[in-house]
Structure 1
């Protein structure tokens, strides 16, 4: 289990974001020209740390399969800024080949920013092998990593039914118990996303019960609003009825 107090590069209480959190989507329009992949690819193997970091960050904007083997190698770079850039770049360039290296790096990297980038990349890989690592991150890691692990678990919707039903109980547990409101909110959002892939079965019913409980009982308004939003988007009759009843009684 990671200790929030053992990191010097990540202030958990003051900053849940990393410097790369606000990257634009790959296809986003920008006034700035994108880097030239032909120039960036050789720099991924540069002896200069700054050049490796620059090139890895370039592939946070670019999609090019040729970069993937280089980015995988950079996951173990001595410089944490290179490693975090490589992790984010693999999230932009997801590959089945990257899943095991990402999992291995998550298990041994001391840097919270790197682990955060890794869990984001693992979610984007849409691979069943990522599930246990994402669950472990949600349960045991520092706040900033748990925040993204919760969101990444929503990506299990693209993996399949078995992954969805394995992820939902862990998300419910964190939505009820995590001490950080932002993490609980992300869990509520992810549960809503995953429930869209479920038939009306016991797992679905349990998830709706948990969203209702969170909506009624969570101490944070933002968490309650995210649970409400999840139920509204699902259109679940029980959830909609509860919301209607509370509105009528003046509680909302």
Structure 2
């Protein structure tokens, strides 16, 4: 995977690339796409037509689109690939997970990898766990941001997955250079803590949230860490928040 595409995807650019594509008219004025027509366009020889069709299946749910979309993951056009990734996040399928993982490891385009991470999170498939952990550690910040949330979606399926996902999330909460990534890690840790019994991993996660609440320089990260503790309802964390509020420190 190449990570030198900062000219294509700024580390500050954290929104969906689909949101930046022009809209012809307000959604209320646009009729829903015709599934039959869009299925045909997925096989068009024109990249612009394939992109339009793939984008349509970001809204439409139709199982017939899945094999066609999986093929388009190898399309030469990055706009087709990114739209296809989001479409497979809407039209999830076990058959799409391995092709998505393969593309996550190979695609040079950050926009595409963002879409893949979102799709893998929506898949809630355990096969995505280790690739997402690796992405959280190594990718550009705009992709890491979404990876933290995707890990929370995937890891909640099994106890051992929660145990595997927690250390990299805690490390990113403590060390990631991008505040927005740290905030998403705080949210993800809070989500996963709800799946854990009161054990060493749970206690370490709460410690990390308390540490971020006290020591992080970014107020957004502090606030998200506090919210995570409140939603988990951990007695030790709640007492710590109460003491900090009494002392006027938060």
| TM-score higher than 0.5 | yes
- CA drift of 1:181 comes to 0.2
Structure 1 segments, 4+ long, off by >4 Å, are none
Query: Which residue does the alignment assign to 2:150?
Result: 152
Structure 2: give runs of 5+ residues left out of the alignment: 22-26
CA distance in 2, matches of 1:53, 1:205: 47
Query: Which residue does the alignment assign to 2:10?
Result: 11
Query: Which residue does the alignment assign to 1:169?
Result: 167
CA distance in 2, matches of 1:250, 1:138: 34
- CA drift of 1:7 comes to 3.7
Written as runs of structure 1 = structure 2, the 5 A alignment for 1:69-218 is 69-218=67-216
Count of aligned pairs between the two proteins: 245
- CA drift of 1:19 comes to 2.3
Query: Which residue does the alignment assign to 2:245?
Result: 247
CA distance in 1, matches of 2:20, 2:165: 26
Residues 175 and 188 in structure 1, CA contact (< 8 A), matched pair in contact too? yes
- CA drift of 1:156 comes to 2.3
TM-score, normalised to structure 1, is 0.93
Measured against aligned partners, the alpha-carbon deviations of 1:138-188 in whole angstroms (never above 9, x if no partner) come to 000001000010110110244211111110111001000000000000000
Query: Which residue does the alignment assign to 1:39?
Result: 37
CA distance in 2, matches of 1:121, 1:79: 19
Residues 156 and 194 in structure 1, CA contact (< 8 A), matched pair in contact too? no
CA distance in 1, matches of 2:28, 2:195: 34
CA distance in 2, matches of 1:91, 1:53: 15
CA distance in 2, matches of 1:110, 1:225: 34
CA distance in 1, matches of 2:180, 2:198: 28
CA distance in 1, matches of 2:246, 2:109: 49
CA distance in 2, matches of 1:22, 1:241: 44
Query: Which residue does the alignment assign to 1:26?
Result: none
Structure 1: give runs of 5+ residues left out of the alignment: 24-28
CA distance in 1, matches of 2:156, 2:229: 20
Query: Which residue does the alignment assign to 2:62?
Result: 64
CA distance in 2, matches of 1:31, 1:237: 51
CA distance in 1, matches of 2:105, 2:9: 18
Measured against aligned partners, the alpha-carbon deviations of 1:54-113 in whole angstroms (never above 9, x if no partner) come to 000000001111101111111110000000000000001111000000010111100000
TM-score, normalised to structure 2, is 0.94
Instruction: Let me know the Cα RMSD of the aligned residues.
Output: 1.6
Residues 192 and 230 in structure 1, CA contact (< 8 A), matched pair in contact too? yes
CA distance in 2, matches of 1:56, 1:112: 18
- CA drift of 1:30 comes to 4.8
SS of structure 2 residue aligned to 1:76: coil
